[in-house]
Amino acid sequence: MTADRRLWFRNRPDCLSDPVCEGVCFDPATGETHFLGDLPALLLSVIDSEPVSVDRLTQRLTGADAIADDDRKKMIGALLFLEAAELVESRFE
């Protein structure tokens, strides 16, 4: 999967999260409110302005270097959702 070789980052002000409604966030960069599932919300919480690989994101989340292939595919899928919603950006390594 070509997305596997991308680096992920968000070079914009942080989204505003609602403290009670999990996954509800407002993106000041676009003015849009998003309703995120658990996985996209979790990934967004560890993405910052530094472009990093999926492996690095996994490490940030779990402390481990790698996860199962199926789980990795799900993470990439969620990252693509986030990118489509203009919440994160990516570029190739």
Q: What is the CA radius of gyration of the chain?
A: 13
- Candidates 1, 5, 33, 50; binder of other proteins (CB under 8 A) is 33
Q: Does 69 bind other proteins (CB under 8 A)?
A: no
Q: Does 37 bind other proteins (CB under 8 A)?
A: yes
Choices 2-10, 48-56, 83-91; region in contact with other proteins by CB under 8 A: 83-91
Number of residues that bind other proteins (CB under 8 A): 40
- For residue 22, the one-letter residue type is E
**How far is residue 69's CA from residue 73's CA, in Å, rounded to a whole number?**
6
* 23-27: Cβ within 8 A, 24+ apart: 27/86, 27/87
Pairing verdict, β 6-9 and 24-27: unpaired
Compute the least distance from the CB of residue 81 to other proteins, in Å.
4
Which residues of the chain form contacts with other proteins (CB under 8 A)?
Answer: 16, 18-24, 26, 28, 30-42, 46, 60-64, 71, 74-75, 77-78, 81-82, 84-87
